[in-house]
Amino acid sequence: MLRTQRTETRDYVEVSGLWGFAPDPKGELGPDALLTHELAVPGSWNEQLAEAGFMAYVGAAWLTREVFVPQHFSGRRIVLRFGSAGYTADVYANGEQAGEGRLPYLPFEADVTSVAVPGEVMRIAVRVSNEEHPDGITPGVSLEDYRRWDAAKAEYFPATRPDFYPYGGLHRPVYLMALPEERIEAIRVETALEGSSAEVSVEAVHAHDAVLSAELSLRGEVVASGEGAGKLTLAVESAELWAPESPTLYDLELRLVKGGELLDVVRQKVGIRTIDTRGHEILLNGKPIFLKGFGRHEDSDVAGRALNLPVMVKDFGLMEWVGANSFRTSHYPYAEEQLEWADRHGVLVISEIASVNLDFRQVSHATRVNHFAAIEAQMARDRNHPSVIMWSLANEPGYLGENEYRRPEAADYMAAIFAHARSLDSSRLLTHANVQYAGIEDSAFEHSDVIGINRYRGWYDSPAQIERGVAHLKEELDTLTQHGKPICIWEFGADAVHGEHATYDQMFTEDFQRDFIEAQLDLFESHPAVAGAHIWNLCDFMTAQHHRRVVVNRKGVFTRDRKPKRAAFMLRKRWSGDA
C-alpha cells in the first residue's frame, strides 16, 4: 500500500475535517444513522466529546461526511485511504459496503469506483470500534465479558489491558485518491555497500507485461538508472550514506510503461545505509552506535491518539534538545508522517508491532494469524524508510509472570513470529521487549538480533532504593551478556509529578526521577554489552483510570503539555553537552 502522492498519473483530495458522529453501543444503527455530534478527523472521540459523555466510551460509533468527487477523477480507480482507525473499521460509500480495516494503527483502503460519480457528492460512513478482542495480538477484554463483571473486578476504567488509553476514532488523515487502472502497487527498496559504492535494489509489484524504469537522483542530478520487468539493481558510485549526522536522501522515480504508453509514475525517498551487529555492538554503516532515546506514545491533549502535526514537530524538537538519537514506536506503528520526519532528520527508529502483553494462556490460532498479518502489513508500509533500523515484534509478552513465559506454547509462538519476520525482511534487526516479571530466561532471546528488556528496578520492586535497583540491574546485564548479542534497555524510568520536590529519595518527585534515570544511565552507558537505553517516557500520557495512575502515566521527562521536568535538563547536559 503506497503512500498517498500526486504525480503525472495520481491525484488525491483530503477528506479529513469535521465528520458527523453517532454512538452505536448496541450495534443497532447503520450507515444512514442519525448523527448526534460532530467530531474532528483525525481525532479521538474521547476527549473531544468528554462533556457529552464519551470520555470512557468503548464500543462502536458511526462517523460520516460528504465529499465532492472531482470531475477529473473520471476514468481512474477511485479509492478511499484511511491512515488508521482505533481499532477496527467498516467503510460504506453511498450506503454500500466498500471495505474494512482490521489491523489497528495501520492504513486500509476501500475501492469506491463503482459508486463514486465524478462531479457529484458521495456520502462516506465508517463504523469504528475501539473494542479489544481476546484473540487480538494485544489481547483484550470483550465488551460482553466486561459488562458481566462486577465493578470491583475491573482493574482499569474503561476496560483495557495495556497501560495506555483505548482511544476510538479515525486517527490519521483520510484521502480520496484517483489511481491508474494499471499501476505500481508496492515498492521494496534495499541497499548494500561495497567500499564507497552502493547497490540499490528496487522491486515493484505491477502489471507483468509492462516495463518498469527507475531513476535515482541526488540534489537534482541523476546518479543511476535502469529498466526491467520488475526488479532492478542500480549501482551508485561514491554513495552518500544516510546517518543521524548526515541523513542524505536520494530521489527515486519509478515509471511504468506499456506499448509506449505511460501507465504510472511513483516517487520515493531512499536512504543508503546498512545496519548490523558485531558481538555486543550495533553497527550503522559499519560503525558502532549507541541508541540514546525514548519510548513514546502518540498522545496529546484533546486530540488523543490522532496525528497532531504541531505536537509531532514539538516532540521531535524535544528529543533533539536533549540530544536523543532514537525512539521506539511503543507500542504500535506510528503515523507515516513521523517516519518521514525521522528520515529527513536522521532519527533512528525501532518500529514496534502492535502486540502488547500477549497472554500465552489464551493465545489461539487466530492470535498467531493476526500477528503474522500485522507484521506483514507493517513491514510493507515501513520497510523503505532508512530511519527504521529494527523491528520489535512484541512488547512484554508473558507479562503475567515467569511461569507463563516458560510454557511450551510461548517458546513455539515467539519462534514462529521471529521466523516469519525474518523471512519477510532480513535487512533489519529483530528484537522484542522482555518484561521484568518474566525474568531473563526468555526463549525469544535465541531468535533476537538484539536482546531487548524493560526494567524498573528501584520503582516497581525495591521502591525508592536507587542503588539497590542498579545493583540488581547489573546482575541481570552480566547474565544476559552470555548471549553474545547487543543488549538494549527499551524501558526504564520513574514517575514524577511536575513541581514535586524533596531533600531525600522520595518517589514521584522530580528529583527522584532525575537521580533514578541518571544512576541507571551510568550503568547502561558503561556496561560493555549494552548498546542502547531508552527512557520511558518522553512525555506523560493518558491511561485508563487506575489506582497506580494520577490522571496520567507520569514517567515522562516532559509533562503531557510538554513542560520539562528536572530529568530533561539532566539529559540535555549529559547527551548534548549543554547545561
Catalogue the active-site residues.
396, 491
- Evaluate whether 449 touches 279 at the Cβ level (below 8 Å): no
- Evaluate whether 135 touches 373 at the Cβ level (below 8 Å): no
Residues 6+ apart with CB under 8 A from 431: 350, 390, 391, 392, 393, 448, 449, 450, 451, 452, 488, 490
- Evaluate whether 113 touches 77 at the Cβ level (below 8 Å): yes
Residue 151 cell numbers, joined: 465493578
Q: Report the C-alpha gap between 58 and 530 in whole angstroms.
A: 41
DSSP-H helix ranges across 117-205: 143-148
CA angle (507 as vertex; 505, 510 as ends), nearest 5: 85
CA angle (507 as vertex; 457, 538 as ends), nearest 5: 70
- Evaluate whether 109 touches 4 at the Cβ level (below 8 Å): no
Sheet of 231-236, strands arranged across: 186-194, 197-205, 231-236
Q: Report the C-alpha gap between 376 and 364 in whole angstroms.
A: 19
The beta-strand segments (E) located in 105-259 are 108-111, 121-129, 169-170, 174-179, 186-194, 197-205, 211-218, 221-228, 231-236, 242-243, 246-247, 250-258
Please tell me what DSSP assigns to residue 539. B
Residue 333 cell numbers, joined: 506503528
What are the beta bridge partners of residue 359? none
Q: Report the C-alpha gap between 535 and 161 in whole angstroms.
A: 22
Could you tell me the CA-to-CA distances from 40 to 303, 309, 541 in Å, in that order?
9, 14, 20
Residue 513 cell numbers, joined: 526521577
What are the beta bridge partners of residue 83? none
- Evaluate whether 532 touches 326 at the Cβ level (below 8 Å): yes
Distance in angstroms between the alpha carbons of the first and the last residue of the chain:
45
Pairing of strands 530-536, 291-295: parallel
Q: Report the C-alpha gap between 444 and 453 in whole angstroms.
A: 11
